[in-house]
Chains A and B, each alone.
Chain A
């Protein structure tokens, strides 16, 4: 089973929930950080990271100017302004390339060969019995989904081989990177807070992710802060509330020390073990069981 923890608004507690779920999970687990722009899960799980860091690449074209006849077919095909033709010079803009491979396929002169652009790095590690996997986008790289896809592929290989569950920390937002993180998941856990910003972005996330028709539930973080509107919205849209994490300065302080919230107190430990139970019930389609968190 793959569970993705997503949000909409940033800073609602995705990493807190992911790290805590990893801490209480009762089956062999792979904890995955797909927030490749700002990966933080390792700061809380503190896995022992394996030293052989793997780089992820995207295939992009390189020009052999001697073979190029300046026909312009590649320029006409490229949708990303990554190739230009001015008078008698063909120029490639490797940073703009989306790696579709179209230019290389359409060039009949063999003037565009295979090159690479570094997307970032992939890290693996362990904390106790739990395996850890994450991606880190290279600073200056604009596209995060290709690196996320490379991490997801690695994840699927591990899951297939070892039969683990995966808990995935997603990037914030509701556009392409966030969708890339949730779209192959079995269950989506949305973390929201009850502030006006939190509610507004939660509604956008619901609108975006509910079209995927996957079992989806919500964790309300900093419960008691802000307004009650989020409960009304969940009620109206039949979104199961999987857990509530109380608003408490002590939790914020523990987080600021890099602690895993499920380990702060017995009560909080119970919040996350019952969250795990509710996620399983949600995945099994047993919504009647959910909600007594």
Chain B
């Protein structure tokens, strides 16, 4: 089984458009959108939900006012600044700041803080024109994206086994934090999509560093390479010096936005240079992961 993950570090470099095109040009696979916070892949793949599952994770503290004696121990012990009291010594928990650590619940001398489980989002198994897709939507502002990412990956693996499919193609999240680290666990190959800008370069180096940290192999796609030739050659040199295969240099092409508006993968919109380059890139990934 091969798990191929598309990352970028910087947001907006083209992860999702490229993942959708890979989903179009590749053979059997399970498609996975691991961006559970701001998922976009479904806008191109238009999945039909076959299964919808509610996602519960973590808990949140709630002070039952009737039993509260206003001692203030909870506010004092909370490391997340999530408990405050007003002028009348009414103590309340700010759900946005509450980390769900249970410290206030455990130490409240009156045992008057409850700790209900949180309903954080939904996840789906769907069918698309390119195959089965696993995806989710965390409710806006919710936490536990790392846990939901891990759950989606687990589900994708299970489905792949059932259907005897040997490839999982995942669209990732920007950044290098919790959901990215969670998405890297067990991945065989990371496709880093960058762009020839100071931010693109800087963030490429950080996400490549993260792949190194977790000993995961990675290759690079320079998107919109013709925006700045000098920056592009710096990135190429960085890839050569650090042993990251350059998978493609994709041109800046309005076709990508046009495809997005139509809800299509760019490779579905007739013959194009960018479409051809993406096919070649996928071939290289196939060879590198076989």
Q: How many A-B residue pairs have CB under 8 A?
A: 178
Contact at B43–A227, with CB atoms within 8 Å?
A: no
Contact A197 B43 (CB under 8 A): yes
Determine if A90 is an interface residue (Cβ-Cβ < 8 Å).
Answer: no
The CA of A160 and the CA of B11, in the complex, are separated in Å by 33
Is the C-beta of A94 less than 8 angstroms from some C-beta in chain B? Answer: no
A60 to B197 CA separation, bound complex (whole angstroms): 38
B143, B206, B213, B263: the one contacting A175 at CB < 8 Å is B143
**Contacting A40 at CB < 8 Å: which of B145, B198, B214?**
B198
* A137 beta carbon closer than 8 Å to chain B: yes
- The A contact surface, by secondary structure, is loop
Q: Any chain A CB within 8 A of the CB of B236?
A: no
Whole-angstrom distance between the Cβ of A232 and the nearest chain B Cβ: 15
- A99: which B residues are within 8 A, CB to CB? 79
Q: How large is the interface on A (under 10, 10 to 19, 20 to 34, 35 or more residues)?
A: 35 or more
B177 contacts chain A at the CB level, 8 A cutoff: yes
**Set A12, A105, A140: member contacting B77, Cβ < 8 A:** A105
B40 / chain A contacts, CB cutoff of 8 Å = 9, 196-197, 200-201
Given contacts A12-B12, A38-B203, A225-B257, contact A175 B174 (CB under 8 A): no
| Docked-complex contact A142 and B196, CB < 8 angstroms | no
- Asked if residues A102 and B106 are in contact (CB atoms below 8 Å), the reply is yes
Q: Mark A27-51, 1 if CB is under 8 A from B, else 0.
A: 0000000000110100110000000
Main secondary structure of the interface of B (DSSP, over half): loop
Please judge, given known A-B contacts A79-B102, A176-B143, whether A139 and B209 are in contact too, CB under 8 Å: yes
Report chain A residues within 8 Å CB of B141: 174-176, 179, 208, 211
User: Is the Cβ of A140 less than 8 Å from the Cβ of B213?
Assistant: yes
Q: How many residues does chain B have at the interface if contact means C-beta atoms less than 8 Å apart?
A: 62
Question: Are B197's CB and A38's CB within 8 A?
Answer: no
Q: List chain B residues, Cβ under 8 A from A15.
A: 199
Of the stretches A248-256, A266-274, A284-292, the one at the interface is A248-256
Q: Which of B97, B206, B252 contacts A139 (CB 8 A)?
A: B206
Contacts of B16 in A (CB 8 A): 197
User: Which 8 residue pairs spanning A and B have beta carbons closest together?
Assistant: A10-B11, A11-B12, A208-B140, A100-B101, A37-B175, A256-B228, A43-B198, A40-B199
Taking A201-B38, A249-B227 as given, write out 4 further A-B residue pairs in contact, using a Cβ cutoff of 8 Å, ordered by the A residue number: A11-B174, A37-B180, A143-B178, A252-B252
- B contacts, CB < 8 Å to A: 8-13, 16, 37-38, 40, 43, 58-59, 77, 79-80, 96-97, 99-103, 106-107, 138, 140-143, 145-146, 173-178, 180-182, 195-199, 202-203, 206, 209-210, 213-214, 224, 227-228, 231, 252, 257, 260-261, 263
